[in-house]
């Protein structure tokens, strides 16, 4: 990467992967990737190798999130360098294999872009997940996608919190992009969610094509929701959940939660209110997969990110 007249010069994106089945019961990505493995014509762009890939085939076969451990948390330096072969948890073995094929993570040989396709049971709509506010390529791509699909909505979730960020499968790439579309129950395929994901991928690949062909993208701003805190369910002394997401909050992803607003409702009908110092924007509200992670939702704050002009080097 270099800078030229305030324009960031970046290498062409020639190797792109599309991951489905990182969680084996999130059916939009599984179905799209299996479709593209059979016939990848719609994801091919001139001069770009686009590889559709099922990341967790055993979990897909069982239609479960994972077999031994969450693959989308498995790409830590410790796991990627662990010895033990077949004695390692299945997803750690897969993480090492994925790192060999698409990485190594953090190296010049790593794939340029990885799109990782996910579904959520939360009412989040279409959400692009950004891992760095300094990734001008991804910021420009997300700006392009948001404009291309308007008036449909596609929000940007930024997770670079040092304690809440996790080691995703897509983090192997130079430019990791998460795509989360919902609401959709686990193990279910909904046509509207499937099509929303497919359309966003089309525009993302179009952006890569335009960039590689030499188009310069001028400076832009991108509205993003920065992850600030993970909120757990209220629990008793034994760790058992004692309250549910309040009906006023349920399905209200991305809407402001103000101090004093209802947040949880106990099983005997009492309201627990939000006690923060100012408004936050909750998302992943009541996500089914996050009960095991002791998370009722995450809070975010809305901010404007600035992307420099980019052009190919």
- Residue 202 CA to residue 144 CA, distance in Å, equals 11
Residue 14 in marked binding region: no
Task: Give me the helices (H) in 77-234, please.
Answer: 77-80, 90-102, 136-149, 191-212
- Residue 281 CA to residue 144 CA, distance in Å, equals 24
- Residue 231 CA to residue 263 CA, distance in Å, equals 10
| Backbone φ, ψ for residue 184 (5° rounding) | -150, 125
Give the N- to C-terminal CA distance of the chain in Å, as an integer: 8
Residue 55 in marked binding region: no
Residue 26 in marked binding region: yes
Residue 136 in marked binding region: no
Residue 111 in marked binding region: no
Residue 290 in marked binding region: yes
Residue 73 in marked binding region: yes
Residue 170 in marked binding region: yes
- Residue 242 CA to residue 13 CA, distance in Å, equals 49
Q: Are 89 and 68 in contact, with CB atoms under 8 Å apart?
A: yes
Told to judge if 180 belongs to the known catalytic residues of this protein, a careful annotator would answer yes
Residue 23 in marked binding region: yes
Residue 169 in marked binding region: yes
- In the set 61, 109, 160, 180, the catalytic residue is 180
Residue 133 in marked binding region: no
Beta-bridge partners for 305: 222
Residue 198 in marked binding region: no
Residue 72 in marked binding region: yes
Instruction: Give binding residues for N-acetyl-L-aspartate as ranges.
Output: 65, 180, 290
Instruction: Give binding residues as ranges.
Output: 23, 26, 65, 72-73, 118, 166-170, 180, 290
Instruction: Give binding residues for Zn(2+) as ranges.
Output: 23, 26, 118
* Residues annotated as catalytic (active site), given as ranges: 180
Instruction: Give binding residues for substrate as ranges.
Output: 72-73, 166-170
């Amino acid at each position: 990467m270099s800078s030229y007249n305030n324009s960031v010069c970046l290498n062409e994106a020639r190797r792109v992967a599309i991951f489905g089945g990182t969680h084996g019961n999130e059916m939009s990505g599984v179905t799209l990737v299996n479709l593209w493995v059979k016939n990848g014509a719609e994801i091919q762009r001139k001069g770009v190798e686009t590889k559709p890939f099922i990341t967790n085939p055993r979990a897909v076969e069982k239609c479960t999130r994972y077999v031994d451990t969450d693959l989308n948390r498995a790409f830590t330096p410790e796991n990627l360098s662990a010895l033990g072969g077949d004695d390692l948890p299945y997803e750690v073995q897969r993480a090492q294999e994925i790192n060999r094929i698409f990485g190594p993570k953090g190296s010049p040989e790593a794939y340029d872009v990885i799109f990782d396709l996910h579904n959520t049971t939360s009412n989040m709509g279409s959400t692009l997940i950004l891992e760095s506010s300094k990734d001008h390529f991804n910021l420009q791509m997300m700006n392009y996608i948001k404009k291309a699909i308007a008036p449909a909505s596609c929000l940007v979730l930024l997770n670079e919190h040092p304690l809440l960020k996790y080691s995703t499968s897509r983090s192997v790439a130079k430019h990791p992009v998460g795509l989360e579309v919902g609401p959709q129950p686990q193990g279910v395929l909904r046509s509207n969610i499937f099509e929303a994901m497919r359309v966003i991928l089309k525009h993302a690949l179009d952006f890569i094509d335009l960039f590689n062909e030499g188009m310069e993208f001028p400076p832009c701003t991108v509205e993003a929701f920065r992850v600030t805190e993970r909120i757990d369910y209220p629990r008793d002394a034994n760790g058992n959940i004692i309250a549910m997401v309040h009906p006023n909050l349920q399905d209200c992803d991305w809407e402001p939660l103000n101090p004093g607003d209802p947040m949880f409702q106990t099983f005997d009908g009492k309201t627990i209110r939000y006690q923060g110092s100012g408004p936050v924007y909750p998302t992943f509200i009541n996500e089914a997969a996050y009960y095991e992670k002791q998370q009722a939702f995450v809070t975010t704050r809305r901010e404007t990110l600035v992307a420099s002009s980019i052009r190919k080097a």
